[in-house]
Amino acid sequence: MAAPVNIVVGSHVWVEDPVEAWIDGEVSRINGLDVHVRTTKGKTVVANISKVFPQDTEAPPGGVDDMTKLSYLHEPGVLQNLAARYELNEIYTYTGNILIAINPFQRLPHLYDTHMMEQYKGAGFGELSPHVFAVADVAYRAMINEGKSNSILVSGESGAGKTETTKMLMRYLAHLGGRSGVEGRTVEQQVLESNPVLEAFGNAKTVRNNNSSRFGKFVEIQFDKSGRISGAAVRTYLLERSRVCQISTPERNYHCFYLLCAAPPEEIDRYKLRNPRSFHYLNQSDCYELDGVNDGHEYLATRRAMDIVGISEQEQDAIFRVVAAILHLGNINFAKGEEIDSSVIKDEQSRFHLNMTAELLKCDAQSLEDALIKRVMVTPEEIITRTLDPVNAVGSRDALAKTIYSRLFDWLVDKINNSIGQDPNSKSIIGVLDIYGFESFKSNSFEQFCINYTNEKLQQHFNQHVFKMEQEEYTKEEINWSYIEFVDNQDVLDLIEKKPGGIISLLDEACMFPKSTHETFAQKLYQTFKNNKRFIKPKLSRTDFTISHYAGEVNYQANLFLDKNKDYVVAEHQALLTASKCPFVVSLFPPLPEETSKSSKFSSIGSRFKLQLQSLMETLSATEPHYIRCVKPNNVLKPAIFENANIIQQLRCGGVLEAIRISCAGYPTRRTFYEFLHRFGVLAPEVLEGNYDDKTACIMILDKKGLKGYQVGKTKVFLRAGQMAELDARRAEVLGNAARTIQRQIRTYIARKEFISLRKAAIMMQSYWRGKMACKLFEQLRREAAALKIQKNLRRYVSRKSYLTVRASAITLQTGLRAMTARNEFRFRKRTKAAIIIQAHWRCYQAYSYYKSLQKAVIVTQCGWRCRVARRELRKLKMASRETGALKEAKDKLEKRVEELTWRLQLEKRLRVDLEEAKAQETAKLQETLHAMQLQIEEANAMVIREREAARKAIEEAPPVIKETPVIVQDTEKVDSLTAEVERLKASLIAQTQSAEEAKQASAAAQAQNEELTRKLGDAEKKVDQLQDSVQRLEEKLSNLESENQVLRQQALAISPTAKALSARPKTPILQRTPENGNILNGEAKKSLDSSLALSTPREPESEEKPQKSLNEKQQENQDLLIKCISQDLGFSGGRPIAACLIYKSLLQWRSFEVERTSVFDRIIQTISAAIEVQDNNDALSYWLCNSATLLLLLQSTLKASGAASLTPQRRRSTSASLFGRMSQGLRASPQSAGFSFLNGRVLGGLDDLRQVEAKYPALLFKQQLTAFLEKIYGMIRDNLKKEISPLLGLCIQAPRTSRASLVKGRSQANAVAQQALIAHWQSIVKSLSNYLKIMRANHVPPFLVRKVFTQIFSFINVQLFNSLLLRRECCSFSNGEFVKTGLAELENWCHEATEEYAGSAWDELKHIRQAVGFLVIHQKPKKTLKEITNDLCPVLSIQQLYRISTMYWDDKYGTHSVSSEVISSMRVLMTEDSNNAVSSSFLLDDDSSIPFTVDDISKTMRQIEVSDIDPPPLIRENSGFSFLLPRAE
């Protein structure tokens, strides 16, 4: 991971930080080898250029799923990528084929359910998001395809989640290769259930983990040739025995002790147990319970797991008896005895625990006491027995406890292996290694030494595997890699395991000498390895030593190395437990062979562990390894906390950074040609514009930039360490120049814009100032004008005042003179007026006299003229009289019309009395108005009559002509007034007519509303009738089920010996029906049976058997002919399947539904089964789907279980039917005519009508079998269509890649072909849907079933597309959303063309993918709130699904961002609440493969079938036995 030299000012880099390990910033200054970096937190850091690493500013915000895709494969890049993914709950990340799993410290059930397993089943590695299932699937597929065993190595420190990861691996392998074992138990159940057993006895709470495995485990899952699990084996390594006796706060002892203390009360009393606080082995720590764990429930779960793995009840009791004995053994305390260096039992409490231990182990209490406090030494001369002091006695007690527990754990492992069973013929295994990770504490002892030795060994294997993977990658790409170096850790392994000078050899040598101590052992190490660079001697300690491991230096304390390395059983303990009366305890301590007991060969834990490790490495070397590195993100064991320093340390311990160093030694950066050109095409635009292939274009770009040492493979460009940074620097330079050009233009534009704005501002300011100056000048001028005006007005006032004084004096003089003149004038005018008055009176008298004379002459002239005019007016008056008659006729017509309108209103009122109650007052008002109008008309008529009479009388009585003139004028005025009155009445009539029309319209609206209410009432009544029918149908179904249960019980009784004895009686004719109701009561049947038995005699005529035999043969022939006929494709008649109608009519005619035993049903079922054997023949399947549904509909409406007559109403039969029934009953009454009724089809009328018959057990069983076949055929058609479109769906989910030409010029022509290819896949799906629809319509499959098929198919499409979208990040892009949306439009068009009759609600089943795609293609996602997204855009999607889409979304078209960080945070809070509320958080959808209908649904949706006019096929038309099928003559 050498730092690149292409660091310039302005580069974004990573620098080391003591708190956060690495922190990002920007280079501000470079002084030689010192780089000044301004971090994002504002502080400036100075670092050496060799410790500064470039940052990829174009890395996706959500990280990459495979870290080999990182542009810069170095430590800070890896850390940043893991942190970005962990923030989005993406806990899995690949590094090549290595999986890194970060413990989320919260439940994520959606990642591990069955849906997720199905998604990863058979998927290519890297095709879906990183997952532990993908690693297991690769191992399984490699084993199946190559026949080679595989292994999965899970490592990590305590609390990193190794055990949970191992569980998930085994669950997935069991899901892939599960197979039922013997005695109802399955191998996968036993393998998975062995985990709780081993966890209970081998796991404990530590400082870092509540369920830490204190042993190493390698599970070998064996597979047979077909890939099914055939056996399994579990190997364990180095159980931490010291934990049994020594623990400290806040740790706990092994779980089993606490589980037993929380057992049911009867078991606690049996073992004399109490609270865990009362036992010495448990109360050394203050921690007794785990958060969220109920030890009582876990105890029962452990017992169930023991049942699964095959541990019997007796063995379980013995196991927990031994566990209880260990607890009691720890409470035995010792005191000093009377003799020197002796000890005795301390008190009665200790004596009680001693006796309980002996009782539980079923050994002698005194022998147990002697074994604890005495030792026997055998010498050549004599046998010496010596006592132990209390300290050594306690050591002896603890040694016994550790030995018993170790043997118990080994027995459990052997029992699990024996119970699961080994497959000796298995040649393929998948091993899952759950091993402890590298440990480095403040105090490290022998356990940490062995653990770290194991990890060194595994790291060597890991390094070799990574190097091998690198070689395979280079070989695959055909590049030269011979000069790549590989760093090995063999020197550390030699330090530990080399013979004879290794640490383990020296430790075994020290253990064999009694006088050796830890000081002498440490001094031996110092002398032997003083020159070894991996071995360091601390300065301030005499017994400690330090080893430089691959993950760092670890300081070991050698104080307890000698004691913990010894592996032997005290002879007294061995003899005590071998003599136990408990077989289980004896089996834990088998007697040692004689030669073994005599030999003094030393045995040590270190040597044994070394041998086990060698065996493990041999097994791993024989398998293809796969690696999972588990990482613990924080030490507080809480979610959403990512501690960088802690993660880096674990990555070092897990060898991940070592693998990165190996990659950096070769070609750490590798890019496909497309990715390389997409990123670095700007370095040589002329190359992209030229007509070169991708490989040549990449080489031209690299050569143009002068890079050396790179390699170009078949599909990728391989760059050496630092070359990516150099290219990025060149790219940054090109982009920087382009940016500077853009900046220059932008700055020019901004400067000119600023200049224009300043100039405009200056002009405006000048204009304003000039305006102010003009205002001041104007004010000055205005003041001067005002002063002049004031002076003028003042001068005018003074002049006017003097003028008014002079004028007033002049007026006074003039007034006096004028008054005198006026008085004179008045006197003159008064005299003149008096003279004029006298003259006027005289002249008036003369004129009046002359006028009188003229008046007399004029009157005489007028009289003559007026006489002439009067006669002319008389003639006009007579004509007016005649016009008055015409007015009267018009008035009469109006009266008739008014009467007619009144009659109509009254008629409408009578017709709508019930509807116009609310308008009664308005109608009354209308009537009153009409009445008033009638009165006015009558008054007008009377007035006209009176006026006419008055006019007539006036004409008759008229004196001279002079008096007639005013009368004529008065009559003319009255006629005008009458005409006006008539016009007013007409207007009133029109208004009333309009009111009547409005009332009529209101009445019509009320009538329409009444009709709507009546229609709704009718609909409600129909619904009530339907509900009543449903209730009745359910009652019938209940009665049928009860009857079927009764029949089944009778059938079960018939199998019993009593029934067999009854069936052995001689057969007698059975009278089953009466003419009245077609059947008889059970009591009557018994009476008739008893009477027939009483009347039967021993000698029955033999001639009766011959007709019966021939009759049975004839019936058998008819059945054969029917089976032969229906095995052919009979086709359809008027949309009705002929085969179903033929079967139904034949079975009804033969009364097969009413017999107790017949084979015709089985033969029909066998015929159908044979016809659908070819599962790919959709035509045949559709044909029999239609026949099965039709026949089932006929049976549903015809059959009823016997005994249901009292519960369901029967149809009344006509008299003629009863007559024919009596006739047929008479024929059936004699044994000779039994079974002959089917030949006489013309006698049995009415069979064509559907009628209910009482079905026996065979008929009911036939109906159930037919239902099962209907569901089977439906499922086969649906699954065939799923298989046909599944490969196409995989091609439809991802959009084609953008062409290289569009990278430069933005062309879209190259996308047209790819887009057309994608649409072709969608069109292939539509074509498949249309073909299936065509086949089912051609075979007259009921539309209800067709709708169900396509509804489930569209649901399947929705599930597949939606799950693929959520599991593949490359699919959650903007352009991909557009492509999928285009394809969904094709499906929508198909639904419209198929019509709702056949498509139904299929389009609605795509709601998840439609809303998800709609979310992908909307713009301005950051502006959307969570409420808008959940309520408006995607109301169907759950929070988990929205969170997944939002975090995986990337815009490859416009470069826009996903939703805002606030929305993401809100989603995460809601997800946390859901997980706390135990709500399912699965974001994947489940494909519903159930049968979505029942028989009742079919009977409700299918129309009734008329079977009477079905024409039989030619094969049986000529047969007399099927004459009942022919249409009868009327």
Question: What six digits make up the tokens of 833?
Answer: 């007026």
| Residue 213 annotated to the active site | yes
The type of residue at 724 is M
Task: Name the one residue in this structure whose structure tokens are 């990449």.
Answer: 698
The helix (run of H) or strand (run of E) holding residue 1012 is helix 964-1055
163 a catalytic residue: yes
Say how far residue 1104 (Cα) sits from the centre of its chain. 71
Q: How far apart are CA 473 and CA 1231, in angstroms?
A: 89
Round the CA-based radius of gyration of the chain to a whole number and report it.
Answer: 56
Examine residue 1296 and say whether the peptide bond preceding it is cis (omega within 30 degrees of 0): no
**Closest Cα to residue 68, out of 40, 100, 42?**
100
DSSP string, 1037-1067: HHHHHHHHHHHHHHHHHHHSHHHHHHHTSPP
Q: How far apart are the C-alpha atoms of 450 and 459, rounded to whole Å?
A: 14
Q: What burial class does residue 871 get, using C-beta atoms within 10 Å of its C-beta: 0-12 exposed, 13-18 middle, 19+ buried?
A: exposed
Note if 159 is an active site residue: yes
| Active-site option among 161, 310, 431, 437 | 437
Give every CB contact of residue 605 below 8 A, 6+ residues apart in sequence.
238, 446, 450, 564, 565, 566, 567
3-state secondary structure of 11: coil
1188 included as an active-site residue: no
**What's the CA gap between 1382 and 768, in Å, rounded?**
63
Residue with tokens 């699961």, as numbered in its chain: 420
1333 secondary structure, DSSP code? H
Of the residues 163, 203, 417, 1043, only one is catalytic, namely 163
Q: Which residue has the tokens 């101590």?
A: 517
Of 71, 97, 206, 213, the catalytic one is: 213
Active site residue 275: no
Q: Which is catalytic among the residues 157, 240, 298, 439?
A: 439
Q: Which residues contact 1413 (CB under 8 A, 6 or more apart)?
A: 1377, 1380, 1381, 1384
Annotation says 158 is catalytic? yes
Largest CA distance in the chain: 208
Cα 1097 to chain center, whole Å?
Answer: 76
Q: Where are the alpha helices (DSSP H) in 421-543?
A: 446-477, 490-497, 503-512, 518-528
Distances (CA, A) of 440 to 433, 555, 861, 918: 21, 8, 158, 96
- Report the SS3 class of residue 500: coil
C-beta separation of 122 from 137 below 8 A: yes
Using an 8 Å Cβ cutoff, are 1491 and 1271 in contact? yes
Q: 490: how many CB neighbours lie within 10 A of its CB?
A: 10
Q: Report the distance separating Cα 99 and Cα 503, nearest Å.
A: 33
SS (H, E, C) 1164-1181: HHHHHHHHCCCCCCHHHH
225: its two tokens:
């040739």
Q: Are strands 1253-1255 and 1199-1201 parallel, antiparallel or unpaired?
A: parallel
Are 1120 and 1129 spatial neighbours (Cβ–Cβ below 8 Å)?
no
Region for residue 816 given its phi and psi (left: phi exceeds 0; alpha: psi -120 to 50; beta: otherwise): alpha
Q: What angle do CA 1345, 1348, 1353 make, to 5 degrees?
A: 130
566 conformational bin, left if phi > 0, alpha if psi -120 to 50, beta if neither: beta
Alpha helices, DSSP H only, in 1294-1373?
1301-1305, 1309-1338, 1343-1367
**Residue 688 tokens, joined:** 């992209």
User: If we measure between CA atoms, which residue out of 1157, 1158, 1155 comes closest to residue 1228?
Assistant: 1155
**H/E segment holding residue 881:** helix 723-911
Alpha helices in 338-445 (DSSP H): 348-361, 365-373, 390-420
Active site residues: 158-159, 163, 209, 212-213, 437, 439
